[in-house]
Structures are given as structure tokens and as C-alpha cells.
Structure 1
Amino acid sequence: MAKTLSFGAMHLTIAFSIGYALTGSLAISGAITLLEPLANTIAYYFFDKSWNRYVDGKRPAAEAMPAEGAAA
């Protein structure tokens, strides 16, 4: 967990630093720092759904469908 938290802190620091270097604005840099991970999280949700649909479409039908009586 410590590795995950330190990576997250590093990511936010880099995002803020780049935003500040490009804009010179603390407010804009802060907004970028908060909005970028939010946008990526939302995009990942839809990407994952699309990816699963794509992968399921490439599997034979017997593999893609759960067995009868299996918990979903």
C-alpha cells in the first residue's frame, strides 16, 4: 500500500509541476492536478467495458458465456 500511495503522490506532484510550468497559475495547476486523475478514471471505466466486449467477441461462444447456474 505504501508503494501505491507514494506513486500516487509522485503522479500528483508531476501533474501539478507540469501544469504550473506551462501556465504559471497555481489555480489552473491545482485544477489540472485534480481533474486529470478524475478524467482518467472515467475514461478507464469505459475503456475496460469496451475492451471486455472486444475480448468476449473474439472468444468462442462457449467460452464467452458463463456456465448455466454459475453465479454472475
Structure 2
Amino acid sequence: MIKTMTFSVMHFSIAFLVAYLITGSFVVGGLVAIVEPAINTVAFYFHELVWSKIQNKREEGEVKGAMETIGESYALRSC
């Protein structure tokens, strides 16, 4: 949890610094530092959902392929 917190502080700091350097405004820097990580957090959640579905489909395909191979081996041995 400490690693997550330190990463969050670093992320907010970098977002603020970049926005401040580009605009020269503390207000804009502060808004970007709050809004950008929040949007990234939501986007990451949906990214993980999609990624999980892709992984599940791959694993189902591997299991299905393995089961077909097992069936073929059994059929060849029983002839």
C-alpha cells in the first residue's frame, strides 16, 4: 500500500508540474493534477475489464484445444 501511495504522490506532482510549466497557472496545474489521475484511474479499471475478458477467452481456447488433442490421442489408441 505504501508503494501505491508514493506512486500516487509522484503522479499528482508530475501532473501538476507539467501543467504548471505549460500554462504558468497554479490553478490549472492543480486542476490537471486532480482530474488527470482520476480519469486515468477510471480508464485503467475499464482497461482491466477488457484485458481480463481477452485473457479468459485465450484460456478457454487453450483448454478447448487441449481437450480436442486428448480426444484425438484416445481415438488413435483405441483403433
TM-score bracket relative to the smaller structure: 0.7 to 0.9
What value does the CA root-mean-square deviation take over the aligned residues?
1.7
Deviating above 4 A after TM superposition, structure 1's stretches of 4 or more consecutive aligned residues are none
Matched, 1:55 2:66: no
Amino acid in structure 2 at the alignment position of 1:56: N
Q: Which residue of 1 aligns with 2:14?
A: 14
Partner-residue secondary structure (3-state), 1:11: helix
TM-score by length of 2: 0.67
Query: Within 2, Cα distance between the matches of 1:40 and 1:54?
Result: 21
TM-score by length of 1: 0.73
Which of the pair has the greater relative contact order for Cα pairs under 8 Å at 6+ separation? 2
Corresponding residue pairs, total: 62
Q: Which has the higher helix share?
A: 2
Deviation at 1:22, TM superposition (A): 0.5
Q: Which residue of 2 aligns with 1:41?
A: 41
Q: Percent identity?
A: 35
